[in-house]
Structure 1
């Protein structure tokens, strides 16, 4: 009988989280949490929600020179692209990921609403790049126990939680053995 230490019964799908296993050796995904924005037979994509960059949005976009918000690293794919997640229903053409979490939409609509304080910057996260998996790639990584799938995600985890504790909090929210994993040290030799 094969033993899988992290696998749970949840399958990846739009609106769920991928939580990296505690000792994932990939530096791009060490202690990361990815919000899946799409998952189908052709592949998957989402954004790492807990890795702030050293850049501010004003340094990335002229149109946002009045904003002082940090830009997050959405993943290792196309880091020259800017994306945004938000919790505002008034941005046109936004894609609903799940209750109170939306991806993208009309950028001019976003900027107008930010400039007129209709939308607060605390309700938006900007991401450089994204995380993507080709056909069957994510399933293979799940078989290798690289990821834990979580369906407990809400807008407060994305927008109101300190990014440095999102990984731990996401596992704690799952309860049981996953809460135990959240306390594993980064370096197992320190245990």
Structure 2
């Protein structure tokens, strides 16, 4: 199959794992690049739900059932969030229209407590995905990742279990074939 790298590697780019990527941390994962420079790349896995909720990470707050996602295998003590409400959460970094990374954490929690923000407008992550300068480019050149442009619907509206296939389907062409690959090729 012929794949082209027609999306620049920058904040707002999605990394879509090749179907048989050997690294189990990224098996069929979609990573949103939040920051990219010559020295490093920082991203968050969008489609890996964590087995716990946010409450244990909040000091003195009692909030139940806030979903938590695993942003990646690096430093699971770091809490990050994506949102689309800069009117309620100051200090966020704009990734694309209607998608912001981070911001004032206390304002985010207050907006949740006061029911001013819904969980289709904010998503929390522990850990992150990171690459040293040039490392990710080498992985892309070896066809470990396919690139796509992020759309806020991928972060907030698409069910996380369907995200990998949905992004490939939306890319069209040969990518649609990749979306149909079984997890275990011996079952094909």
TM-score (norm 1): 0.92
User: Per the alignment, do residues 165 and 71 of structure 1 end up closer, same or farther by CA in structure 2, a change over 3 Å counting?
Assistant: same
Structure 2 CA distance for aligned equivalents of residues 138 and 80 of structure 1: 23
Query: 2:133 aligns to what?
Result: 135
Q: In structure 2, what is the Cα distance between the partners aligned to 1:47 and 1:22? A: 19
CA contact (8 A) 2:2 2:174 kept: no
Q: CA contact under 8 A between 1:35 and 1:46: conserved in structure 2?
A: yes
* SS of 1:181 mapped into structure 2: helix
Give the corresponding residue for 1:17.
14
Runs (5+) with no aligned partner, structure 1: none
TM-fit CA distance, 1:110: 1.1
The unaligned stretches of length 5 or more in structure 2 are: none
- CA RMSD between the two structures: 1.5
Q: 1:148 aligns with which of 136, 139, 146?
A: 146
Cα deviation digits, residues 43-80 of structure 1 (max 9, x gap): 21110000001111123324552241221010011111
Q: Does 1:186 align with 2:180?
A: no
Contact kept, 8 Å, 1:92 with 1:105, in 2: the verdict is: yes
How far apart are 1:40 and its partner, in Å? 1.4
Of 151, 161, 164, the match for 2:161? 164
Once the two structures are TM-superposed, the CA of residue 6 in structure 1 deviates from its matched residue by 4.3
Distance 1:88 1:55 in 2: 24
Structure 1 ranges of 4+ moved more than 6 A: none
User: How many equivalent pairs are there?
Assistant: 187
Structure 2: distance between partners of 1:6 and 1:46: 23
| 1:34-73 superposed matches below 5 A | 34-73=31-70
